[in-house]
Structure 1
Amino acid sequence: MEDTSKTIAHQIGGLQNDALRFGLHGVKSDIVGSHPLESSLQSVKGAEEAMKRQCKVNLYGAAFPLKEELDRQILSRFQRPPGVIPSSMLGLESVTGSLDHFGFEDFLNDPHESETLRPLDMHHGMEVRLGLSKGPVYPSII
């Protein structure tokens, strides 16, 4: 009984409906799915990863991809607390091979280089990380 009352109170007056912190909730994003090219790109990435995994199984045995997945899970958990210095995730990037990829997101539209970025709310960032609150860790640009 306590759990249901907490979830109802959280949904009615809690952080889920905090329009001042997260902006007004739009219904369009719930109705309209992602762009067809985005879903196609995700399916191609999934098929490519499955093919690479099967090649590794054939070359090195079944334990090698499992060890890589375990390393990937461990390295994805190491992050700095929300604050001034963002997490670089260098270990995860080296294991996944994304250090070799240089996309537009690496040099365009970095929110940390913005002149109008509000300071990060460390308490809210920790609430999001611990699952106590929902919403973006980094505040939107003013």
Structure 2
Amino acid sequence: MESPKTIPHEIGGLRNDPLRNGLHGVKSDIIGSHPLQSSYQSAKVRQEDMKKKILANTYGAAFPLKMELDCQIISKFQRPPGAIPSSFLGLEAMNGTLEDFGFQDYLNDPRELESFRPVDMHHGMEVRLGMSKGPACPSFI
């Protein structure tokens, strides 16, 4: 029997490769997220569920499904890896989060860190096309 001519790889190209991705920390596996963060996430999920129920009661059961399908389509359009990151403006407009101004908008911009290194556009496109493994944007040393 002849073996297949393809190289097996994991879905998404993510693999435990410490030379590319850095050493894996065990602390994040042991300690969960901050209690406020988990509370914020659960409140966000409840709010989205309530919004879907209201839309289903108002416009019919197919409307929330159509909106979810539209959001999935819009979220797939991205800029190629490079100097300008994807903004997902259409997705924010569709979800209604365009006017929201959270702490992530003015704090902890990864491009301002000392350990930031510019994105390698060629590596990002190779990952996107399935020719290479690893994250598309290894931006931290």
Instruction: Say yes or no: TM over 0.5.
Output: yes
| Aligned match of 1:102 | 101
Deviations for 1:65-107, whole angstroms, at most 9, x for unmatched residues? 1111111001000001111221111111110111110112112
1:71-82 residue pairs with structure 2 within 5 A?
71-82=70-81
Letter in 1 for 2:121: M
Relative distance call for 1:49 and 1:130 in structure 2 (3 A) is farther
Distance 1:17 1:68, change over 3 A: closer
1:18 CA drift (Å): 3.2
Distance 1:40 1:129 in 2: 34
- The amino acid that maps onto 1:65 is P
> What SS is found at the alignment partner of 2:15?
helix
Task: Please name the residue that 1:125 is paired with.
Answer: 124
Structure 1 residue 129: Cα displacement: 3.8
Query: What one-letter code is carried by the residue in structure 2 that aligns with 1:112?
Result: R
Which AA in structure 1 matches 2:85? P
**Superposed CA RMSD:** 2.9
Q: How many residues align?
A: 136
Partner of 1:61: 60
Return structure 1 stretches of 4+ with deviation > 6 angstroms. none
**One-letter amino acid of the structure 2 residue matched with residue 86 of structure 1:** P
Shift in Å at residue 125 of structure 1?
2.2
Q: Does 1:42 align with 2:41?
A: yes
Q: Distance in 1 between matches of 2:128 and 2:80?
A: 9
Q: What CA distance in whole angstroms lies between the structure 1 residues aligned with 2:53 and 2:84? A: 38
- Deviation per residue, 1:107-140 (Å, 9 max, x gap): 2222334576322122332344456533461411
**Unmatched 5+ stretches in structure 1:** none
The TM-score with structure 1 as length reference comes to 0.76
**Identical positions, percent:** 62
If asked which structure has higher relative contact order (CA below 8 Å, sep 6+), I would say 2
3-state SS of paired residue (1:70): helix
